[in-house]
Amino acid sequence: MWTVIYLLPMTMHAMAQIDYESVKNTRDELLRQELGMMLGHDIVLSDSELKANEVIMGLKYAELDHAFRQPQLFNLSKHFFEYKDEVKSTKLFKLIQKMPKGAVLHAHDTGLLSPDYIVQLTYLDNLYVSFDKGDVNFMFAKESPITSNGKKWQLMKNARQSSGDIEKFDTELRKHFTIVIDNPSEVYTDVNSVWRYFQQFFITTGPLMTYKPVWEKYFYDTLKALRDDNIMYIEIRSILPELYDLDGEIYDAVATAHCYKKVVDQFMVDYPDFFGAKLIYAPLRLVDVNTLKEYIKIAKELKKQLPDFLAGFDLVGQEDLGVPTKDFLLELTEASKDLDYFFHAGETNWYGTSSDENLVDAIVLNTKRIGHAFAINKHPLLLNEIKKRGIALEVNVVSNIVLKLVDDVRNHPLASFLAQDLPVVLSSDDPGVWEAEPLSHDFYVAFLGAASRHADLKLLKKLALNSLYYSTYDNKDKLVHEFEIRWTKFIDEVVREQWRS
């Protein structure tokens, strides 16, 4: 009886005798090659940038090494609400605030400014309010509104004065303009629950924001907040709701877009160092096919009337509960010859579901960028497709934490995106709703929490440049040239002041 012996195949390398030096050299070479693949590897730093990099990495190492020794103290492993204010006092955050960050390419119009700003809007004249079982309703009018639902309305200024404690009144009112709470893990137990609160923000503030003078003021002040956070350009998503005024005039979606364009034009007169804005028309995805056809008709009219202002089309809303993109594939395919797409896709933890497969539909419909793309790491073929097609991934790291896709930012797929040199654009989604800065928090959290410890100034610069390269701005050379001027000034300041050591 014969005994058959199976030998495991061995490579010549594995069979060869190894020694310490060869092991160490191979280790160093593997690490070197891996770092050479990281986003930003193609950036060559000047002598001044190398000096600035020493300062920046000193600040980064200090925070990371302290946390590595005492992981329970690492802010970014906790919920964003716990550390959002504390990190503002760090030198690294202040430095990132001063850093030119390029453009915001993924943000929703009425979710950008803070709850304190919205509270101030409630001091405007002609605002009526109705309180009903914990809810608050707003409406601007010349006289007390008469509504079919029997709501009792009063002037906001009267309600505030009669409260007996204006500070307490405003504190309670403010709670309707934010989803920040003290116990998010207990209240926001899953994705659906936090989305309900998130959507309620827009329901509550809608009648306040869609008053035409407020709509225009809010957008003007949004552009100012972006500029103050060292952002030079924005492509803003909007559902383009109907606006109203005190005379009973109603303004449709196209008129709303014209309001936006008027505000942008005025802002650029007032602040000529800002590079403007474009619009991505982004209505809700939880609709039927006939409603989608109406959306497409509006988008085509916008392109006809505002060809230089409309960037393209998207569908928004919670993907897990929304209509999957595949249900609209025929209509969107037909419209693709007239419209550019910037689809939300893969903002989900589910694998193989319709919301996950929205990624496939976005790609085959030739989307220019993908909003979030949180789930794309599970799809190696799709990763290759976005590289081949040059489709940027609009990553909103703080949003993904707040809206319950990931608890610890160190586990965010952004880490893998950066390691693979994917075309990442960092953005902020709805920072005002969770009380973040327009973009600085997202850069800080990404740089310190998701990126490698070794990721340095090259990554920061590449992320900023990507936001310009993947924008739809008409003269990118001009945009990048101006960015380089601002970047050089920033680097000189970091070197000169040694970041206020």
- pLDDT per residue over 28-72, tens digit each? 999 999 999 999 999 999 999 999 999 999 999 999 999 999 888
What was the pLDDT predicted at 16?
Answer: 56
Query: Which residues 6+ apart lie within 8 Å of 137 measured at CB?
Result: 129, 130, 131, 151, 204, 207
What was the pLDDT predicted at 499?
Answer: 58
What was the pLDDT predicted at 218?
Answer: 98
d(C-alpha 464, C-alpha 483), whole Å = 9
Half-sphere exposure for 215 (CA within 13 Å, toward CB) = 24
In this structure, which amino acid lies at residue 278? K
In this structure, which amino acid lies at residue 134? G
17 has pLDDT over 80: no
Fold of 80-113+190-492: TIM Barrel (3.20.20)
State the average pLDDT over residues 312-323.
96
- pLDDT per residue over 147-175, tens digit each? 767 778 999 999 999 999 999 999 999 99
Half-sphere exposure for 32 (CA within 13 Å, toward CB) = 6
State the average pLDDT over residues 362-376.
98
d(C-alpha 243, C-alpha 111), whole Å = 17
State the average pLDDT over residues 201-205.
96
d(C-alpha 309, C-alpha 332), whole Å = 21
- Residues with a known catalytic role: 347, 372
pLDDT band at 367 (very low <50, low <70, confident <90, very high): very high
Residue located via tokens 């989604």 = 429
11 has pLDDT over 80: no
What was the pLDDT predicted at 105?
Answer: 98
Domain ranges of the chain: 80-113+190-492, 118-177
Report pTM.
Answer: 0.94
1 has pLDDT over 50: no
Q: Which of 13-17, 163-167, 237-241 has the lowest mean pLDDT?
A: 13-17
Number of Cβ within a 10 Å radius of residue 334: 11
pLDDT band at 13 (very low <50, low <70, confident <90, very high): low
What was the pLDDT predicted at 73?
Answer: 83
- pLDDT per residue over 335-344, tens digit each? 999 999 999 9
- pLDDT per residue over 271-317, tens digit each? 999 999 999 999 999 999 999 999 999 999 999 999 999 999 999 99
The answer to whether 443 touches 79, Cβ cutoff 8 Å, is no
Average pLDDT, the chain: 94
The answer to whether 184 touches 79, Cβ cutoff 8 Å, is yes
What was the pLDDT predicted at 148?
Answer: 66
d(C-alpha 385, C-alpha 43), whole Å = 24
